[in-house]
Amino acid sequence: MSMGLKYAGTGDEKAKETIIKELCKLKEMKTIGVEHINDLAFKNYLLPYNYYKLVSVYLLSLGLVMSGTCDV
């Protein structure tokens, strides 16, 4: 989010690529159901709510960086 605010409206390609790269890493993470939240076998997994919240923050940051450039 800080990158999105720092580079808001600049269309900086390096910031754009960094946010997209991190978003792709997040896409590879797996989610679990609430019933497995205390199971240590699933300690590296995300709850669906947290996953979608993180995706929203990444997309908002990307939108801030690319605002005003007409880059869809």
Query: What is the separation of C-alpha 27 from the centre of its chain, rounded to a whole number of angstroms?
Result: 8
- Residue 72 in domain: no
- % of the chain residues with pLDDT over 90: 53
- Residue 59 in domain: yes
Tokens representing 39 are 């199971």
Tokens representing 49 are 């709510």
* pLDDT over threshold 90, residue 49: no
Q: Number of folded domains in the chain? A: 1
Separation of alpha carbons 22 and 47, rounded Å: 18
What residue numbers bound the domain in which 10 lies?
2-66
Kindly list the distances between the CA atom of residue 69 and the CA atoms of 11, 16, 30, 65, in Å, as whole numbers in the listed order: 6, 12, 33, 9
- Residue 29 in domain: yes
**Residue 58 pLDDT:** 95
